[in-house]
Amino acid sequence: MHDSLNEIDYGTPQRTAAREVTLDIDGTAVTVPEGTSLMRAAAQAGVQVPKLCATDSLEPFGSCRLCLVEIEGRKGYPASCTTPAEAGMQVRTQTPKLLALRKGVMELYLSDLPPDAAGAQAPSNELQHMVAATGVEGVRYGFGGASHASDAKDESNPYFTYDPAQCIVCNRCVRACEETQGTFALTISGRGFASRVSAGQNESFMDSECVSCGACVAACPTDALKEKTLIAIGQPERSVVTTCGYCGVGCGFKAEIKGDEVVRMVPWKDGKANEGHACVKGRFAWGYASHKDRITRPMIREKITDPWREVSWDEAIGHAASEFKRIQAKYGRDAIGGLTSSRCTNEEAYLVQKLVRAAFGNNNVDTCARVCHSPTGYGLGVTLGTSAGTQTFKSVEQADVILVIGANPTDAHPVFGSRMKKRLREGAQLIVVDPRRIDLVRSPHVRAAHHLQLRPGTNVAVVTALAHVIVGEGLVDQAYVAERCEQKSFNEWRAFVARPENSPEATEAETGVPAAELRAAARLYATAGNAAIYYGLGVTEHSQGSTAVIAIANLAMATGNVGREGVGLNPLRGQNNVQGSCDMGSFPHELTGYRHVSDSTVRASFEEAWGVDINPEPGLRIPNMFDAALAGTFMGLYCQGEDIVQSDPDTQHVAAAMMAMECIVVQDIFLNETAKYAHVLLPGSSFLEKDGTFTNAERRISRVRKIVPPLGGWGDWEVTMKLSNALGYPMNYTHPSEIMDEIAALTPTFSGVSFDKIDRMGGSVQWPCNESSPDGTPTMHVGRFVRGKGRFLVTQYVASDEKVTRKFPLLLTTGRILSQYNVGAQTRRTENNQWHAEDVLEIHPHDAEERGIRHGDWVGIQSRVGDTVLHADVTERVRPGVVYTTFHFPESGANVITTDNSDWATNCPEYKVTAVQVTRVMQPSKWQQEYSRFNRIQEALLKEREEAGHAVAAK
């Protein structure tokens, strides 16, 4: 997968048609689907027609006039990119007349450009390649005439520059913004020679609606739009295909490298999840990997009030192992545990849970999915039989109606969001269920047919009311249910949802959703053809998160919308490998492939392979670990690549638990909030330094390849091995591929997976991949459900314990924003801060006016567990009675005010419902003042370590 820097670009999108036609191109017969452009047909015949405005990712445009051809029996010289192939055509692409025409066109282009525009060829500059292809050596019209050389460059964007002097107004950037990204931020202003690309209303790129996805930069055939890193570092020398380390979309990228330095990340056209598109994070925000804050040397300290002491790897590992042994000898085998990371690879997560079970001798392992998608695992498992989404991302292109509930794809999963918007522009209908008006509700060329703006915490009531309408109006797909589902469970569910108390009218007062609007949405979902559900943390992070997942599974089964393209249940996973970390046995009750530790047959296979006995009793979940630490029975933690102090709810409770432990080992790339409570700090590796695999939200296992050596000297998997060996349990893998081979040998759904298989399959494969599905499984539950018959379950709505009162009259809910990611450890160390430099509180104008709050004021947010202070954003995005914030900045203290309420089945925290009061204030909260003081102490301790290191180096 080490690609060259150049890719074949056939010039126009691939067409599929039932009928094929045969034609002659330059004496070669070629057969293509009807409707294929002559340009693509020529490429299939081995002929590359010169072009500038055409690209295989955009609709044909026909403006550059370079791709002209001759067709026997027709007058003129049509553009090959816009002319469809017909049976019997005789096409010539290379004739003296065509060569003269192309040279003339190219000379006209060059006459408007600076003299260096036709200079030495660079892989990123198609214009220079076309100069060579057309044989132009001089320009008859001369350089130095009228040009745009004096026009100012737009340097406003931190990642790329726009130089109008290099622009040929080919429209590719404008079309990419419209067709690929769907933002419509660019246009062509002016006429004739005065034409130029404009962002917004002749604004700078930074001031416009541009979302910096980079589609325009990728589409530009000249140096008009160019990455600043390419300008600063120079042309790359090689490229390596890898997978993005941000969200659960799992975009494929070509990392372009010069020496050991990354020059740029180019979206990989063959990446199945993204097909050549990207977002501002994956495309540009990778600089954190070489940030000055990176931890590159192991450090230890006895107490968190001591300065850090830099030590060798052997001393750090030996100290950690010694402390874990001491704690187990003093408090018992179950007194320590570990956390796997959703930012690390499958192989690394597997090793951590193996370390806990085989070396620690218990099942005290958990992962961040506990606080995000654990209800997905439970809810889909009990209804359908497997704990994962059912479709590919591409499946949305066949959806007729799309139900988005508790998710914000354009901010949290933007590449998929762009794919969804494209389908909506083509005519699919949209239903949004969200307490906030997300961009999908109303944006350029996209408008939701229904926005069910429910009150936070009432998801189950709303989805059950949708089912009430579908059952009551006879919209159930009876044939599907009879063939695919348990009749008894369906009958019980049908009787339950048909009750009058579950009607839209009866639930309207509780949910805040007008009954008529809900009824119309239910009819649309049930009758529109292919209906797909996409959901996120707004479904799972509730006290009834698992119930809500079950409710939407009931809805999909009742309407026959599972088991084919364009339908299904699609949880939008938050982090790059949250699906994979779950697959790898990171929960305390499950081994790999979601098999319970109490199953003696499953346990026996691992015991034989690992040479140890495995405890049949589930271990501690993350919240249980905190409670046990405060009780004095859980005293040691190995935390790889997670920041639980910032990400988990009720921060003060978490911090107290951290303080109570005797040995916390943190393995990370930065001194994050959790590391400030650590006793051992081990350098982690970024995704650019990893070999292994990630698994995205569509169950796609994709290769991650090492681009640069780990700054700390070792990969995360190697560090875990060192710790295991020091504890007395031997691990001696020589490459992550061997770890995957072990995973495959022990996990039925992965039995056909190997690095070689993934490479042969073009870079990724979707599980289940085994003997019955050797090429993977793009769509789940085709013909039958994994569990056999689909199971309906009653979803009784139970109101959250978090109720508004006179003291706390507002409901706080939380979410993400496009430019930042998760706890912000990565994106906060990039130029993405220019878009979002702090978390703010969105509050409705009515609620703000009642409290004398104006836009930009400092406001205090108080809940029953804590308080913090943020700037106010007065907006109608939220409904009256609801406030909203993000959680990307630790100093914001968003989780200081979230409570320990959690899902009944999985302990997933109820981040989305917190009763609060908001008031205008003049200073930070007491917690923020204490946080600043604690931070200053920790920074001083780190500085002592640095100064001590400099002194040693000087000697």
| 169-212 confidence digits (pLDDT tens) | 899 999 999 999 999 999 998 887 778 899 988 899 999 999 99
Confidence band for 574, pLDDT divided at 50, 70 and 90: confident
Sequential DSSP letters for 134-147: HT----TT-SSSS-
Question: Who has greater pLDDT, 654 or 118?
Answer: 654
Could you give the CA distance from residue 168 to residue 223 in angstroms, rounded to a whole number? 10
Model confidence, pTM: 0.93
Q: Which neighbouring-strand residues pair with 452?
A: 433
492-509 mean pLDDT: 97
**pLDDT value of residue 112:** 78
Cβ(591)–Cβ(602) below 8 Å: yes
The per-residue pLDDT for 138 is 73
pLDDT in tens, 831-889: 999 999 999 999 999 999 999 999 999 999 999 999 999 999 999 999 999 999 999 99
What per-residue confidence (pLDDT) applies to 470? 98
Question: pLDDT by residue (tens digit) across 266-314?
Answer: 999 999 999 999 999 999 999 999 999 999 999 999 999 999 999 999 9
Torsion of CA 619, 621, 622, 623, to 10 degrees: -120
Find the mean pLDDT for residues 28-34: 93
> Residue 841's pLDDT is what?
97
pLDDT of residue 329: 98
- Of residues 786 and 373, the one with the higher pLDDT is 786
Per-residue pLDDT band for 4 (boundaries 50, 70, 90) equals: very low
* Torsion angles phi and psi, residue 649, rounded to 5: -75, 165
pLDDT band, residue 539 (cuts 50/70/90): very high
Query: What are 76-105's pLDDT values in tens digits?
Result: 999 999 999 999 999 999 999 999 999 988
40 and 82 Cβ atoms separated by less than 8 Å: no
Three-class HEC string of 859-920: EEEECCCCEEEEEEEECCCECCCEEEEECCCHHHCHHHHCCCCECCCCCCECCCCEEEEEEE
Q: Residue 11 above 70 pLDDT?
A: no
Confidence at residue 955, expressed as pLDDT on a 0 to 100 scale: 57
Torsion of CA 941, 712, 645, 875, to 10 degrees: 110
Q: What is the mean pLDDT of residues 583-602?
A: 96
Q: 813: Cβ–Cβ under 8 A, 6 or more apart, which residues?
A: 435, 436, 456, 538, 882, 883, 884, 911, 912, 913, 914
pLDDT at 248 over 90: yes
Task: Report the 10 Å Cβ neighbour count for 13.
Answer: 15
Would you state the torsion angle of the CA atoms of residues 7, 9, 15, 20, taken in this order, to the nearest 10 degrees? -100
Residue 246 has pLDDT above 80, yes or no: yes
- pLDDT of 190 reads 83
Q: pLDDT tens, 390-426?
A: 999 999 999 999 999 999 999 999 999 999 999 999 9
pLDDT over 50 (residue 135):
yes
pLDDT for res 6: 43
Q: What's the confidence (pLDDT) of residue 462? A: 98
Q: Is the Cβ–Cβ distance between 878 and 844 less than 8 Å?
A: yes
Q: Is pLDDT above 60 for 953? A: no
What are phi and psi for residue 691, nearest 5 degrees?
Answer: -115, 135
Decide the pairing of beta strands 858-862 and 867-874.
antiparallel
What percent of the chain has pLDDT above 90?
A: 83
Given pLDDT bands bounded at 50, 70 and 90, which one contains residue 119?
low
